[in-house]
Each structure stands twice: as structure tokens, then as C-alpha cells.
Amino acid sequence: MKVVLFCGGQGMRMRDYSDAIPKPMVPIGYRPILWHLMKYYAHFGHKGFILCLGYRGDTIKNYFLNYDECVSNDFVLSGGGKNVEMISKDIDDWRITFVDTGLSSNVGQRLMKVRKYIGDDEVFMANYADGLTDLPLSTLTDFFHKGNKTACFLGVKPMSSYHMITSDKDGTVTDVRSTALSSGRINGGFFVFKRSIFDYLQEGEEFVEQPFRRLIEKRELLTYSYDGFWACMDTFKEKQHLDEVYTRGSAPWELWRKD
């Protein structure tokens, strides 16, 4: 499946770290969080990415145009540094579409602007590009196909204020609302959609507001509850948490290393 990644927000709550780069480019270890997320999807065979760019989109473009495989792969150097033989590579089989979706566009508007790049695909995935998980991705996609609804997202335990969800036993969402820290579940930002999602989205609408309400009314929205590792990087404090997890040498989301 193609994977739409929303990379255009200004990330105001990450300005304590840097206002020179967009939030998806904030590093965890040697690579930006965007790379970690793309590596996660690619591990499960989903290597066609559509990047919805906005704030400092040039930074994201230049990163991949000047990508250095040596940073995160083993290689052999010979000839006094003239010859580099890569033992493994990251992105040589990825297909990345870079789309300027506007500086101030909301998520719904960004999705509308990349609709033509999804093509005729009946199902695609999407992500906020600021969270990581160790979820076996096939469990989410299998749940989506079995439920046969228009949309599905990952339901996780909250870290701070998010959209609170309630659902039936079969995963059909019955309500979505903003909430403070709670023992309930929130939208974890990992989505699976049928192309009919665009029938529920109108120009200018924020994605999880009016469109989700319409999906709920039609009982076309699912959530998959997951209690494994999930963390987002919405604030500098959350970045520090992910850095700590990474430096311990056993980052849960790096499933490609475990395999």
C-alpha cells in the first residue's frame, strides 16, 4: 500500500528544540523521526511514500536528495577512501513522492491535495509522522480488512491531551472528542483508509473533526486497540524520552533490527 505522511505542520511545541527544521526532521539518534517511521513501514513491505510538505519542506527534500547510506548501514572502504562498497542499503527500493501541500494547510486539506498521487489504489495508509510503535503492522491491516469499514486508526494509551475515542466491542467508533490525560484510548496516528474516505471529506475541513463525525454516523470508523509500545514526539520532553529509549540500544520500533 502507499503511505501518506503528513510532514507539513509547523510543530510549534517543538520550537524549544529548534525552529530551523520541521518536526519530522528532528533526529532520534543518527536519523530523523520521519526516517524511523518510513523504515518501519518499509520493513512490512510498504515502500511507496507520499510526503505532504509544508513548513520547511525544502529541508525534507534536501535530506533525501543528499541521502547518505553510510550513516545507518555497514560498508567497506578501500582505495584510500576512494571506493565505498555498501553491505546494505536503506532507501534504494523506496519510491518517495514529495508534494507541497501548503504552509498553513490542515491535515484534511493536505490529504485532499495528494489524492491524485494515491491513484486508483483501493486502500492506502496514512500517518501524522510524529509517532512510533512496535505494532506488527499486519495486525492493523488485517483488522481493517476484516472489519470492512471505510477507515481505521490505532487506539493507544494517552501520554497527554489528545482526541479521546469510545468504541463498540467490534471496534466501531461511537465518539471522538478532545480530552486531557486519561485512562482511556486516543488516536495514535496510524491510519488505514479505503479510497472512499474522500467521500466524507470536504474542502477546508480538519480531518478528525467533521469527516470523522460523518464516519461515526454511518458506522464506518474502526479503531484497533493496542497496548504495546507507542510514543509520539509532540514536545521536546517527548523527544528526550525517545532519545533515552534509543540510546539504551533496544528501540522497540526498530523491528527491522530484531528480524
Whether the predicted model's global pTM rises above the 0.85 cut: yes
For residues 184 and 142, the answer to whether their CB atoms sit within 8 Å is: no
Residue 16 exposed, middle or buried by CB count within 10 Å (0-12, 13-18, 19+): exposed
Say if residue 181's pLDDT is above 60.
no
Question: Could you read off the pLDDT of 51-76 as tens digits, one per residue?
Answer: 999 999 999 999 999 998 888 888 89
Question: Could you read off the pLDDT of 191-215 as tens digits, one per residue?
Answer: 999 999 999 999 888 888 899 999 9
Domains of the chain: 2-72+85-253 (3.90.550.10)
Let me know the angle formed at the C-alpha of 8 by 254 and 130, rounded to the nearest 5 degrees: 25
Let me know the angle formed at the C-alpha of 16 by 15 and 19, rounded to the nearest 5 degrees: 35
Say if residue 80's pLDDT is above 70.
yes
Q: In the predicted model, what is the mean pLDDT of the chain?
A: 90
For residues 27 and 71, the answer to whether their CB atoms sit within 8 Å is: no
